[in-house]
Chain A
Amino acid sequence: MTAQIYGFLFSMWILILVGGGLMVLLVGPISFRDYVDIDPLINSGAKIILALFLIFIWVFTLTKVKNWIFKTQIKS
């Protein structure tokens, strides 16, 4: 069981690195102002929604990893 917890810790670390990469490479450079003339605040708001969506995917993936790693033990 302990090995599985270490495995979960390691997967969380990898997910943080990948999630960080997505934030820097995807969300950071996006600017809707290149296409439409919108207020900078709305531009930031759109990026926030995108970031929250990525966080949702991150948590969803983590839940799946958790279920996969702990499987039956979690129900014990």
Chain B
Amino acid sequence: MEQLIIPAIIAIAVAFFSVYGLTPFVIRVLEKRNITVVDVNKKEKTMVARPGGLSIIVGMELSLIILYIFFPISEILAVILTTFFAFIVGIIDDKKTMGGWFKPIALAFCSAPILLLGAYDSNLAFPLFGTVQIPILYMALVVFMIPIMGNTINSIDVLNGVASGFITIASFALTISLIILQNYEIAIATLCLAFASLAFYKYHKLPSRIFPGDSGALTFGATYGVIAIVGHVEVIAAIAILPAIINSFLFLSSVKKITEHRETKNPVSHTDDFKLKTGDYMNAPITLVRLIIAKRPLSEKQIVTEIFRLGMFSGVLAIITAFMMGVEV
């Protein structure tokens, strides 16, 4: 246990401070080159730098490489490679808006390092009931996991600070779960994700100075997904991000096809004092935000706080599930 503490401190510090230090530089460069977008939820026209994926990937990769030097295991190498490939997919989508199917298919290919390095265990663990051996089905799960996690985090990135704040909460819950299950090396990798997203949240929180964009959101989501696989905590990881999964589920069950959220009608609109209210379009997709404001209009800050509360609730459920993993009925 002691030999884990120093690598953990170094990796976490690198993850946090590199993102914390690099993001203002990325903001300046993007603003200088006019690579900005309008923040649609502000009364005055506010331009925000986008995408911020570059600082996130640098922080993540540096910390994970340091971790790999201390613990040269295939699981951490799989996290390094998959995260990097997902960032590439994201940056392509940031530069040129691709069709709805591009991201799921491209992200599916990003799972190749996990399969090629054999960094997975085909026994799927469930709480209370033990494990089930599904070798072929599990390979399909590996391929689907990265697109699902990537797009799930990407789809919740609709308000200032939500994506980075939400993944921070989920990552801390997953870290605690991994510690409960005594998977310490992957717990440290998860802490790197938690601290990198926490550092980015400093600039992403309301009022945002930078948006993560597809490159940032997909990096967060794919890293989270690959950690879930190599850490054998697939079910727990899914539970920790249930509000985001609900958001995707509601969106897909109302739109009934895989599409870019940019291509759909806006599910929310604004009141005179610029609070968010349910949109005017009857056939607009149902989303988590739309449900939160169904009864009365709320400010952006109130909605973000509510999403974080939901995140904390599902984080607690994830930790309870981790405790239940050791119990068999």
Instruction: Tell me whether A16 and B310 are in contact (CB under 8 A).
Output: no
Contacts of A5 in B (CB 8 A): 243, 246, 288, 291-292, 310
Instruction: Tell me whether A1 and B295 are in contact (CB under 8 A).
Output: yes
Nearest B-chain residue to A25, judged by Cβ: B129
Instruction: Tell me whether B239 and A48 are in contact (CB under 8 A).
Output: no
Interface size of B as a range: 35 or more
Give the docked Cα–Cα distance between A47 and B138 (Å): 12
Contacts of B286 in A (CB 8 A): 74
The reply to whether the CB of A38 lies closer than 8 angstroms to some CB of chain B is no
Instruction: Tell me whether A28 and B132 are in contact (CB under 8 A).
Output: yes
The interface bits of chain B over 115-129 (1 if a CB of A lies within 8 angstroms of the residue's CB, else 0) are 000000000101111
Contacts of A28 in B (CB 8 A): 132-134
The residue that B126 contacts in the complex, of A21, A44, A48, A51, with Cβ under 8 A, is A21
B228 to chain A, nearest CB (A): 14
The reply to whether the CB of B190 lies closer than 8 angstroms to some CB of chain A is no
Near A by CB (< 8 A), chain B positions 23-46 give none
The reply to whether the CB of B259 lies closer than 8 angstroms to some CB of chain A is no
Near B by CB (< 8 A), chain A positions 1-55 give 1-2, 4-6, 8-10, 12-13, 16-17, 20-21, 23-25, 27-28, 41, 44-45, 47-48, 51
Nearest A-chain residue to B131, judged by Cβ: A24
Near A by CB (< 8 A), chain B positions 246-305 give 246, 249-250, 253, 278, 282, 286, 288, 291-292, 294-295
The reply to whether the CB of B313 lies closer than 8 angstroms to some CB of chain A is yes
Interface size of A as a range: 20 to 34
Give the docked Cα–Cα distance between A10 and B314 (Å): 8
Contacts of A2 in B (CB 8 A): 292, 306
Give the docked Cα–Cα distance between A2 and B305 (Å): 12
Nearest A-chain residue to B245, judged by Cβ: A12
Contacts of A75 in B (CB 8 A): 282
- Given the known interface contacts A2-B292, A76-B278, the answer about A16 and B136 at a Cβ–Cβ threshold of 8 Å is no
The reply to whether the CB of B317 lies closer than 8 angstroms to some CB of chain A is yes
Contacts of B131 in A (CB 8 A): 24
Give the docked Cα–Cα distance between A2 and B317 (Å): 17
A60 to chain B, nearest CB (A): 11
Instruction: Tell me whether A23 and B126 are in contact (CB under 8 A).
Output: yes
The residue that A66 contacts in the complex, of B250, B282, B313, B314, with Cβ under 8 A, is B250
- Given the known interface contacts A6-B313, A76-B278, the answer about A1 and B294 at a Cβ–Cβ threshold of 8 Å is yes
B241 to chain A, nearest CB (A): 11
B106 to chain A, nearest CB (A): 24
The reply to whether the CB of A63 lies closer than 8 angstroms to some CB of chain B is yes
- Given the known interface contacts A9-B242, A48-B137, A62-B249, the answer about A17 and B306 at a Cβ–Cβ threshold of 8 Å is no
Nearest A-chain residue to B124, judged by Cβ: A23
Contacts of A44 in B (CB 8 A): 134-137
Contacts of B291 in A (CB 8 A): 1, 4-5, 70, 73-74
6 contacts between A and B (CB under 8 A): A1-B292, A5-B310, A10-B317, A13-B321, A20-B128, A44-B136
